[in-house]
Chains A and B, each alone.
Chain A
Amino acid sequence: MTPGYTPVAKALHWLMAVLLLGLLALGFIMTDLPLSPQKLQLYSWHKWAGVTAFLLVLVRLAWRTTYRPPPLPDHMPKMMQLAAHAGHALLYLLMIAIPLSGWLMSSAKGFQTVWFGVLPIPDLVGKNKELGDVLQAVHETLNLFFVVVLIGHVGAALKHHLIDRDDVLTRMLPVRSTEK
C-alpha cells in the first residue's frame, strides 16, 4: 500500500466533486430556462457556488503545496505518469479559469456577483456587452472542455481500479476500502 491522502485533501476532493458536478448541471439547465424569478434565483445560486468553488480550489492548492499527494504507483510507465500529472494540472487550471471567466462575464454583462447576496465581489471589468458575449463563449467552451477532462479523470480512476487493480482510486475514497 502506498501512503495515502490526508483527510483534508480527501474532504476537499469530494466536496469539490459534488460542488462542481452541481455547478455544471445547474449551468447547463439554467441557461436554457425561459426568464423567470426561478431562473434569476438559479443564476444567483450558480454564481455563489462558483465563488465558493474558486475559494476552495485556492485552499486546495495551498494545502497541496504543504501536503504533497502520494506518488503514483511504480508499475505506471513514465509516459503514463506524465500524462496523469498533466491531466491533474489541466483540472486545476480549469478549476481556476472557469470561475474567473464566469466572474469576468458577470461583470462585463453588468450583473455584479454578490456572494450569498451579502458580500459584493468587485467587478474586474466594466460593463461591456461585446466583452460579455466573448466571455460567455469562453465560459461555455472551458466548461465543455472541463467535462471532457473530467470524463478522462473518472475513466482513468476506473481503469486503475478495474484493469490495473491498483489503489489509485481507493486511496482517495473517504474510508479506504478493505474488501480486497
Chain B
Amino acid sequence: MKPMILALTLAAVLPWSARAAEYRQVRADQSAITFAYQQMGVILDGKFSRFTAQLNFDPTRPEAAKATVEIDLASIDTGSTEGDQEVAGKTWFNTQAFPTARFETRSVKALGDHRYEAAGQLTIKGKTQDVVIPATFAAQGQTGVFEGRFTLRRGDFAIGEGAWAKFDVVANEVQIQFRITANSGE
C-alpha cells in the first residue's frame, strides 16, 4: 500500500509545487559576483563581497521574470589593499558619490536547454548602458542556481579616468561572472 500512498501524496503536491516554483529568495551565502581583467597581459581577478538581488523567476514563464541586482562597490576585493583603496576613488568608481552598481532586467528570453538571456540596463557611476546578459539556470529541488558571464567595457562607464583612461596597462574589457542561488517557496 505504501507506494500507492506516496503516489497519491505526490499527485496532491505536484501541481501545487509547480505553481509555486518561483525562485525569489536569494541566498547571499551561496551567491558570488566576481570579475576578471587583464593588466599588461596578466589575468587578474577579484570579487564583490556585498550585493543584493531581488528576483522572480518561474522556469515555466521565463518571459515574466524580473531581476534587480545591486552591488555595493566599496565591497570590492581587487587582491590588494592598495588596489581596493584606489578603485574606490574618484577616477574609478567614486563610491562616495556612486556607492552602488545596479542591473535591472527589461526582458528575459529563453534560449532553450536551460539557457536564458536577460536584457536590461546596467548603471555604474551614473552612466546607464543597455546590456544583454546570458545565464544558465539549474534547479535542484527548491534551490535554483543562475550562472553566467558577460564582458563590459570599463570605458563605457568612465571606470578609470585620467591617467587610467588609456587601456595599455589596465584593459578596457572586464569580464563579470556571477552565480546567484535562489530558493523557491516560502
Indicate if B168 sits at the interface (CB-CB under 8 A).
yes
Q: Are B41 and A37 in contact (CB under 8 A)?
A: no
Chain A residues with CB under 8 Å of B40's CB are 40-41, 44, 114, 117
Main secondary structure of the interface of A (DSSP, over half): loop
The smallest C-beta distance from B36 to any residue of chain A, in angstroms, reads 12
Chain A residues with CB under 8 Å of B79's CB are 109-111, 127
The closest CB in chain B to the CB of A48 belongs to B40
Indicate if B117 sits at the interface (CB-CB under 8 A).
no
Tell me, in angstroms, the Cα distance from A41 to B164 when the chains sit together: 12
Q: Are A40 and B169 in contact (CB under 8 A)?
A: yes
Chain A residues with CB under 8 Å of B170's CB are 37, 40
The closest CB in chain A to the CB of B41 belongs to A117
Among B41, B86, B164, B166, the residue within 8 A (CB) of A114 is B41
The tally of residues in A whose CB lies under 8 Å from a CB in B reads: 18
Chain A residues with CB under 8 Å of B6's CB are none
The closest CB in chain A to the CB of B87 belongs to A35
Indicate if A101 sits at the interface (CB-CB under 8 A).
no
The smallest C-beta distance from A73 to any residue of chain B, in angstroms, reads 48
The closest CB in chain B to the CB of A37 belongs to B169
Indicate if B185 sits at the interface (CB-CB under 8 A).
no
Q: Chain B interface: which size bin?
A: 10 to 19
The closest CB in chain A to the CB of B46 belongs to A110
Indicate if A162 sits at the interface (CB-CB under 8 A).
no
Known: A35-B83, A36-B163, A37-B164. A113 touches B169 (CB 8 A): no
Contact with A along B145-164 (1 / 0, CB 8 A): 00000000000000000011
Q: Are B86 and A40 in contact (CB under 8 A)?
A: no
The closest CB in chain A to the CB of B86 belongs to A35
Interface residues of A (CB under 8 A from B): 35-38, 40-41, 44, 109-114, 116-118, 120, 127
28 A–B contacts from the bound complex (CB under 8 Å): A35-B83, A35-B86, A37-B164, A37-B166, A37-B168, A37-B170, A38-B163, A40-B170, A41-B40, A41-B169, A44-B40, A44-B41, A109-B79, A109-B80, A110-B44, A110-B79, A111-B42, A111-B79, A112-B42, A112-B43, A112-B44, A114-B40, A114-B41, A114-B42, A117-B40, A117-B41, A117-B42, A127-B79
Given A112-B42, A112-B44, A114-B40, 17 additional A-B pairs, CB 8 A = A35-B83, A35-B86, A37-B168, A40-B39, A40-B169, A41-B169, A44-B39, A110-B44, A110-B79, A110-B80, A111-B42, A111-B79, A113-B42, A114-B41, A116-B41, A117-B40, A127-B79
Interface residues of B (CB under 8 A from A): 39-45, 79-80, 82-83, 86, 163-164, 166, 168-170
